[in-house]
């Protein structure tokens, strides 16, 4: 049984347990204890104790940062074991799981390096005063994590929270929670004070809702769907605590007439077929100049036919393989949306093949109209929508014409045109000539229904602190 962990102790769950399945084979690979509402309360009490002890927040930042970096070191030292476990529970190819584990380690490395490099200001008020600000950790950060990147999402936000002196209660996703136990093991490896990193798994509607709405949580970070994000935001608002929401997307690349086709196809390979398309910032719409549509259709058909869809949980070398989706429920949802789109008039430009057993879905490319349901909804699968356009203004209107605004892209050799479009794209991040350009260092987050707040980069550190101003009247 895989357990919950708080206050430095492993616990069974008061809400029973769940079988975790390998989505590629249907085989049960482990049983995860589920936290009850009382367990959530106990985990928060352990976290509160750690806040009150002030060991973590009061530590010299250089020492705290070193410990955060050690969390990353744990993931690096055990990367193969962790990645193998992650691949088996999520359906990802091993090489993608390794990228995720390395990414997790990198977040802890990056944020560990920020601890002693994050400071308040001195504010001049004339001879009669000394005035300065301190950036105080908020206290308990509740972290609700989705199944598509169960490790990397934790590294991303918990790394920043810990770096500035917050303590965390993490709720892992119930579909693939097993590898998350490594956060507790990493906390022990790095010798974090007891109660600084607490980990529970539980049903979203039970443990997730209890965590988001708990009156003793100081801040909530949620990554997941729009519907759940809305309920988390309401719960946080009831307690008047700040909240960061990283929600879904229907992100578009505008491909101008002069675009480099090789760069575009390479970006599509990673942009929509990485993690079987289960990426919030996936390149799910290509808005392409009509003069390049035919060429792109041919190239994309070649790409799709060269992608092998199979259980790749032991394939460590990067290659043109795509694994299973996380569950048959998610696979059936994607298949249903594609079927409906075809009935509504979408044109199938290309579709690969996939095994019939297991949660596999083939890479699929549809030509659609901008207003169609499939062009508006997040499929969260390996499904690319292609929409031709005539001029930049029309492309921009199509790109901005969904409820989402997570990321966007422009492909063109005219950097001036790219930058003008980038300014007018309603998204938190714009990639030019490479999808997923950027890194741990670059702020990430959405506008509109893609959420609010920013993760990644130094900006994310501000999510976890309150500025305190201290003004001193001097006697002359």
Burial of 209 (0-12, 13-18, 19+ CB in 10 A): buried
- Residue 431: in which H helix or E strand, if any? strand 429-432
Choose the binding region for ligand NAD from 189-197, 223-231, 264-272, 390-398 (rule: CB under 6 A): 223-231
Instruction: Find the shortest distance in angstroms from Cβ 34 to ligand NAD.
Output: 10
Residue number, 433 or 449, with CB nearest to ligand NAD = 449
| Among residues 115, 223, 408, 412, the one that binds ligand NAD under rule CB under 6 A | 223
Instruction: Find the shortest distance in angstroms from Cβ 377 to ligand NAD.
Output: 10
Between 366 and 405, how does the x/- string for binding to ligand NAD read (CB under 6 A)? ------------x-x-------------------------
Residues 89 and 179: beta-carbon distance below 8 Å: yes
Residue 104 in contact with ligand NAD, rule: CB under 6 A: no
| Whole-angstrom distance, CA of residue 156 vs CA of residue 104 | 7
Subset of residues 197 to 216 that bind ligand NAD, contact rule: CB under 6 A: 204-205, 208-209, 212
Query: What is the token pair recorded at 206?
Result: 């039970």
Residue 67 in contact with ligand NAD, rule: CB under 6 A: no
Subset of residues 406 to 445 that bind ligand NAD, contact rule: CB under 6 A: 406
Residue nearest ligand NAD (C-beta atom): 204
| Among residues 65, 91, 224, 363, the one that binds ligand NAD under rule CB under 6 A | 224
Maximum alpha-carbon separation in the chain: 83
Residue number, 112 or 248, with CB nearest to ligand NAD = 248
Q: Is 246 a catalytic residue?
A: yes
CA 218 from chain center: how many Å? 21
| Among residues 34, 82, 145, 350, the one that binds ligand NAD under rule CB under 6 A | 145
- Which is the catalytic residue, given 246, 378, 418, 455? 246
Q: Is 455 a catalytic residue?
A: no
Instruction: Find the shortest distance in angstroms from Cβ 154 to ligand NAD.
Output: 11
| Whole-angstrom distance, CA of residue 329 vs CA of residue 391 | 39
| Among residues 87, 247, 303, 440, the one that binds ligand NAD under rule CB under 6 A | 247
| Whole-angstrom distance, CA of residue 194 vs CA of residue 467 | 26
**Which own/partner contact pairs does 410-416 have at CB distance under 8 Å and 24+ positions apart?**
410/253, 410/254, 410/256, 411/253, 411/254, 411/255, 411/256, 411/259, 411/260, 411/263, 411/264, 411/267, 412/254, 412/255, 412/256, 412/258, 412/259, 413/258, 413/259, 413/260, 414/256, 414/258
User: Which residues lie closer than 8 Å to 332 by C-beta, 6 or more apart?
Assistant: none
| Whole-angstrom distance, CA of residue 188 vs CA of residue 195 | 11
Full DSSP string of 335-348: HHHHHHHHHTT-EE
Query: What is the token pair recorded at 125?
Result: 């008020």
Instruction: Find the shortest distance in angstroms from Cβ 238 to ligand NAD.
Output: 13
| Among residues 32, 57, 148, 168, the one that binds ligand NAD under rule CB under 6 A | 148
Residue 327 in contact with ligand NAD, rule: CB under 6 A: no
Residue number, 57 or 180, with CB nearest to ligand NAD = 180
How many residues of this chain bind ligand NAD (CB under 6 A)? 28
Residue number, 137 or 428, with CB nearest to ligand NAD = 428
Residue 147 in contact with ligand NAD, rule: CB under 6 A: yes
Residue 239 in contact with ligand NAD, rule: CB under 6 A: no
Residues 438 and 103: beta-carbon distance below 8 Å: no
Instruction: Pick the closest to residue 64 from 162, 198, 186, 160 (CA basis).
Output: 162
Residues that bind ligand NAD (CB under 6 A): 144-149, 171, 173-174, 204-205, 208-209, 212, 223-225, 228, 231-232, 246-249, 280, 378, 380, 406
List residues with catalytic annotation.
Answer: 246, 280
């Amino acid at each position: 049984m895989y357990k919950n962990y708080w206050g430095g102790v492993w616990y069974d769950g008061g809400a029973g347990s769940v079988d975790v399945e390998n989505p590629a084979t249907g085989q049960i690979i482990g049983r995860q204890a589920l936290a009850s509402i009382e367990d959530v309360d106990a985990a928060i009490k352990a976290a509160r104790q750690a806040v009150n002890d002030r060991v973590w927040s009061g530590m010299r930042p250089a020492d705290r940062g070193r410990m955060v970096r050690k969390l990353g070191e744990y993931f690096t030292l055990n990367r193969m074991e962790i990645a193998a476990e992650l691949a088996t529970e999520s359906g990802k190819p091993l090489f993608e799981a390794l990228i995720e584990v390395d990414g997790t380690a990198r977040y802890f490395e990056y944020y560990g390096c920020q601890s002693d490099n994050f400071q308040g200001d001195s504010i001049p008020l004339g001879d009669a005063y000394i005035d300065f600000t301190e950036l105080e950790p908020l206290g308990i950060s509740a972290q609700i994590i989705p199944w598509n990147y169960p490790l990397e999402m934790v590294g991303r936000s918990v790394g920043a929270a810990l770096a500035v002196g917050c303590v965390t209660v993490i709720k892992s996703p119930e579909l693939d929670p097993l590898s998350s136990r490594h956060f507790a093991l990493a906390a022990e490896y790095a010798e974090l004070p007891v109660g600084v990193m607490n980990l529970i798994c539980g049903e979203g509607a039970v443990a997730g809702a209890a965590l988001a709405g708990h009156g003793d949580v100081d801040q909530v970070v949620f990554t997941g769907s729009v519907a759940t994000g809305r309920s988390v935001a309401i719960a946080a608002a009831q307690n008047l605590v700040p909240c960061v929401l990283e929600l879904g997307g229907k992100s578009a690349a505008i491909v101008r007439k002069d675009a480099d086709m090789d760069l575009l196809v390479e970006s599509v390979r990673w942009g929509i077929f990485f993690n079987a398309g289960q990426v919030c910032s996936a390149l799910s719409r290509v808005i392409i100049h009509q003069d390049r549509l035919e060429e792109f259709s041919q190239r994309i058909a070649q790409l799709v036919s060269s992608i092998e869809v199979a259980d790749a949980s032991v394939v460590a070398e990067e290659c043109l393989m795509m694994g299973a989706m996380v569950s048959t429920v998610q696979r059936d949802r994607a298949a249903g949306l594609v079927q409906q789109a075809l009935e509504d008039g979408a044109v199938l430009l290309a579709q690969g093949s996939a095994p019939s057993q297991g949660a596999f879905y083939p890479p699929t490319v549809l030509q659609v109209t901008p207003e169609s349901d499939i062009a508006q909804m997040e499929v969260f699968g390996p499904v690319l929508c292609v929409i031709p356009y005539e001029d930049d203004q029309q492309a921009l209107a199509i790109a901005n014409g969904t409820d989402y605004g997570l990321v966007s892209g422009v492909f063109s050799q005219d950097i001036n045109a790219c930058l003008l479009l980038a300014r007018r794209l309603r998204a938190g991040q714009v990639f030019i000539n490479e999808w997923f350009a950027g890194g741990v260092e670059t702020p990430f987050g959405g506008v509109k229904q893609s959420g609010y707040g920013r993760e990644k980069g130094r900006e994310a550190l501000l999510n976890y602190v309150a500025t305190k101003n201290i003004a001193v009247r001097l006697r002359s």
